[in-house]
Structure 1
């Protein structure tokens, strides 16, 4: 997938989540060991780290199946670094996925473990 296509999916995911009451506070947060596609905040102040994935079809596991243990670990490491800015009072957080596949969008709240 091209960088432009990835950006379009991230833009669409951000708009989709904002329409459902979340507020975008950061995009494409990069660290040497991982990246967070979107960082959102809900009405209660919870931080939501969002992984955006896109696949043309469900072959080979599809968009959700493409998030393996290695990818989850990299996102969790990046989230841990992001949370350092909150010093000793990090907010509650969770990891969501927005998946694009076969022309559909699927939002999976709490897609993987938020134990940091």
Structure 2
């Protein structure tokens, strides 16, 4: 199975998990010139959460969360700013950046992974 298909499986599983926890999906695979965000959801408390999904079947390349490097974080931040601007979200809206990892069949949700 190619990495794109595997990535979609991880993203769908992450979305299902978040929905089961009461999050509402706002966008999937949001693209702009700065980059892409896997999932944008709203928590029950109204916090808009930008979610990066990472998976690994082997640890040869390190842990999945390690792939969210400072450069990747910067791209996600700029992409989130683009989304906020284009969506005309309320200036009082709270935001957060989470990472959901899949490591050899185990899922981990890291809230406030970076800012």
- TM-score for both structures, normalised by structure 1: 0.90
- Cα 1:60–1:87 shift into 2, 3 Å: closer
Instruction: Give the aligned partner of residue 86 of structure 1.
Output: 88
Instruction: Give the aligned partner of residue 18 of structure 1.
Output: 19
How far has the Cα of 1:58 moved from its partner? Answer: 3.1
1:100 and 2:102 aligned = yes
Q: Secondary structure at the match of 2:62?
A: helix
The number of residue pairs the alignment matches comes to: 113
1:59 and 2:88 aligned = no
How far has the Cα of 1:61 moved from its partner? Answer: 2.3
| 5+ long unaligned stretches in structure 1 | none
> CA offsets per residue over residues 53-110 of structure 1, 9 Å max, x none?
0111333321011110000000000000000022662511000000001110000010
Contact conserved, 1:83 with 1:90, CA < 8 A, in 2? no
After the TM superposition, which segments of 4 or more aligned residues of structure 1 sit over 6 Å from their partners? none
| 5+ long unaligned stretches in structure 2 | none
1:48 and 2:49 aligned = yes
